[in-house]
Structure 1
Amino acid sequence: GGAELLNDPGDVAALCDKRRCHARLSAAGVPVPAALPPIGGYDELRTAMAAAGWARVFVKPTHGSSAAGVLAFAVGPRGVRAVTPIEVAPDGLFNSLRVRTYDDEATVAALVDRLAPEGLHVERWLPKAGLRDRVVDLRVVVVAGRPTHAVVRAATGPLTNLHLGNARGDLAELRAAAGPAAWAAAMQTCVRAAACFPRSLHVGVDLMFQLGWRRHAVAEVNAFGDLLPGVLADGRDTYAEQVHALTSGRWERWRAAAAVTGAGTEVAEAVACGS
């Protein structure tokens, strides 16, 4: 009836499919963790890991969200270890807010085999940079081609999602640790990631700096990643920022530029979060 969709259904479908999203980012040259071909179960996972020479991976349901069904899986001389919010109960598997660690291989194999028919996306586990005694990554909201809001997610384990009991970290401390050049490069990467979905007003980019702060990668891009309560940039929260992008004409300029070039031409205009 004449309404304009601000987040295109095709973009949303791709963003909600981790395999498709990863492939689109990779094809555009956005730095992402390397991924394994689709695997059909635990034995295939172990074989593919051995062939790739990887000892640690993230096993993610292809269509999952909020870390549901995710396993941070490691293989070592002492056996296997999986960190996950999956609770194994007599009547099935349940997503839990309490993260668990499983080191019984039969249990881990059963988890992977149970999830595999739903579709799995397996990525190499990259070592994240840390602040103090925690590993950290970022949720960066990109609105109309501009990264405007960011939250540091700090965790003592590999799963950094805030709803799993992790803490917000200090953004200024992280920026100082990364340094101006590395921070600017990371924000440009967020813009390039958003440009892969040019018909969407906003996306939420999960970005990690690797050990040493020189390199970074995009872990995921989220279609519904703009819930950052209490985070303001230029006095606006993420929702007010989207309205501002619409009323100021920035959304129209970004969409037109992305349609012409196939990539965000406003990369050079990417602003540091909170400035």
Structure 2
Amino acid sequence: MTSLPQLLLVGNPGGRRTTLLAAACRRAGHRAPQVLSWRTVLADGPSRAGAVLAAALAAPAAPALVRIDSPGDDPVVDRLLRGAPDCAPRGAITAGPAWYRGFSTATAALGDAATAAGARLTADPADLGVLFDKAACHARLEAAGVPVPAALGAPIRGWDDLRAGLRRRGWTRVFVKPAHGSSAAGVLAVQLRNHHAGADVLARGPVQWHDGRPVNSLRPGTFRGETEVGALVDALAEQRLHVEQWFPKLVLRGRAADVRVLVVAGTATHAVVRTSRGSVTNLHLGNERGDLAALCVVLGDAGWRRVLDVAEASARCFPGMHTVGVDVLVGARAGSSGPAPTPVAVAEVNAFGDLLPNLPGLHRPDHDTYDAQIHSLTGVLTA
């Protein structure tokens, strides 16, 4: 009887993440991970996820390491996490409170089962819970002294709350984000150009209206006027909102730029410049990878080191996470501020921020993001 591999992955079989991780295992001389599908784990509900994992870990030569990976965009997994009777329509923005409860319940159960079996986890469920709550994540970073954009602390139940918060703070530009979302789902850049004329409001983001509901869109939607913007914010508020003051980004070769830094076991291993002609830079929205060398020239050695230092400081706020992706905003005045430190702020810390295919490593150009993780875990995998 063939023994089980040393690594067990809770993920989606056949998905890009699973395929890339398996390839990295093979390149390192390890067997491909045993895959326990999210659909199987959640079949009897999120609270029973631990029992499914426990059964897998009870087998002879059971894996010593458990990796909880992204549930991804599988509509069945999404339905099971939300406890909904039917799958959501394509493009629906579903990562709200119900999804978050299901995800938190499932990961906590998986963590308990792994611990009881003596297996090591690469992602701590408590840290995952904070990472998938943007307000809690922002608060943890801020408490640790990590630079973050200012945020509206009061609950945002809709447009009236948002408008009042902007006027109270004197802010005119903010990012409105579903608190439990990822991949820029439901994110809006909102601009209030006249505090005393509500009609002069503009919002833009990867959202469109469909059948009376906001849905994800790869093509940014533009919404004008208090009636239109207000209706959209009211609809998104059902998912719970986190609002941050706009941070003016560096413009690199005519495009707004920020940096996704992958931190593995405390060290920045990969970085990609994300550039856009709009405010949202996520690469899956058709934006472009920028020139990292050109950015480093603009920032200088000290400025680039600051970007990496801030990313690593962010990762230290989540000690139970082997790997995180940190989105670092670089200020518009970077490179022209003389001896002052390069202005930076952390926009997001991503629990599953490693899906960056064909990206060479900062220290090992031959290592993609999954090679770096497997290399870091080699001692466990070969134990």
Match of 2:128 in 1: 12
Match of 2:208 in 1: 87
Taking the aligned partners of 2:206 and 2:306, their CA distance within structure 1 comes to 32
* 1:156-183 CA-partner distances (Å, limit 9, x unpaired): 0001011111100000001111111111
Q: Is the 8 A contact 2:175 2:187 kept in 1?
A: yes
Taking the aligned partners of 2:271 and 2:122, their CA distance within structure 1 comes to 21
Match of 1:222 in 2: 350
- Deviating above 4 A after TM superposition, structure 1's stretches of 4 or more consecutive aligned residues are none
The structure with more radius of gyration: 2
Q: Is the 8 A contact 2:123 2:322 kept in 1?
A: yes
Q: Is the 8 A contact 2:213 2:235 kept in 1?
A: no
* 1:168-214 CA-partner distances (Å, limit 9, x unpaired): 00000011111111111121111110000011100000001001112
Q: Aligned match of 2:160 in 40, 43, 48?
A: 43
- Deviation for aligned residue 1:248: 6.0
2:376 aligned with 1:245: yes
2:244 aligned with 1:123: yes
Greater RCO, 1 or 2 (C-alpha within 8 Å, sep 6+): 1
Q: Residue 179 of structure 1: SS of its match in structure 2? A: helix
TM-score by length of 1: 0.88
What is the 5 A alignment of 1:96-135?
96-135=217-256
Match of 1:75 in 2: 192
Taking the aligned partners of 1:71 and 1:131, their CA distance within structure 2 comes to 22
Match of 1:181 in 2: 302
Taking the aligned partners of 1:232 and 1:115, their CA distance within structure 2 comes to 37
Taking the aligned partners of 2:379 and 2:260, their CA distance within structure 1 comes to 25
TM-score by length of 2: 0.63
Match of 1:171 in 2: 292
Match of 1:52 in 2: 169
2:313 aligned with 1:197: no
2:142 aligned with 1:26: yes
- Deviation for aligned residue 1:132: 1.3
- Deviation for aligned residue 1:244: 1.4
2:119 aligned with 1:3: yes
* 1:45-73 CA-partner distances (Å, limit 9, x unpaired): 11111111110000000001111111100
2:333 aligned with 1:212: yes
Q: Residue 25 of structure 1: SS of its match in structure 2? A: helix
Q: Is the 8 A contact 2:273 2:291 kept in 1?
A: yes
Aligned-partner residue type, residue 13 of structure 1: G
- Deviation for aligned residue 1:117: 2.9
**RMSD of equivalent CA atoms:** 1.3
Q: Is the 8 A contact 2:329 2:346 kept in 1?
A: yes
Measured at CA, do residues 30 and 3 of structure 1 come closer, stay the same or move farther in structure 2, by a change above 3 Å? same
Match of 2:27 in 1: none
- Deviation for aligned residue 1:91: 4.0
Q: Aligned match of 1:156 in 277, 281, 286?
A: 277
Match of 1:63 in 2: 180
Aligned-partner residue type, residue 21 of structure 1: C
Q: Number of residue pairs matched?
A: 249
Match of 1:259 in 2: none
Taking the aligned partners of 2:330 and 2:369, their CA distance within structure 1 comes to 23
Taking the aligned partners of 1:92 and 1:54, their CA distance within structure 2 comes to 28
- Deviation for aligned residue 1:104: 2.8
Taking the aligned partners of 1:159 and 1:45, their CA distance within structure 2 comes to 20
Q: Residue 121 of structure 2: SS of its match in structure 1? A: coil
Aligned-partner residue type, residue 274 of structure 2: R
Taking the aligned partners of 1:219 and 1:89, their CA distance within structure 2 comes to 28
Q: Which moved more, 1:111-120 or 1:171-180?
A: 111-120
Taking the aligned partners of 1:182 and 1:5, their CA distance within structure 2 comes to 34
Identity of aligned residues (%): 53
- Deviation for aligned residue 1:115: 1.6
Q: Is the 8 A contact 2:134 2:179 kept in 1?
A: yes
Q: Which moved more, 1:83-92 or 1:184-193?
A: 83-92
Taking the aligned partners of 1:93 and 1:176, their CA distance within structure 2 comes to 41
Query: 1 or 2, which has the higher strand percentage?
Result: 1
Q: Which moved more, 1:234-243 or 1:77-86?
A: 77-86
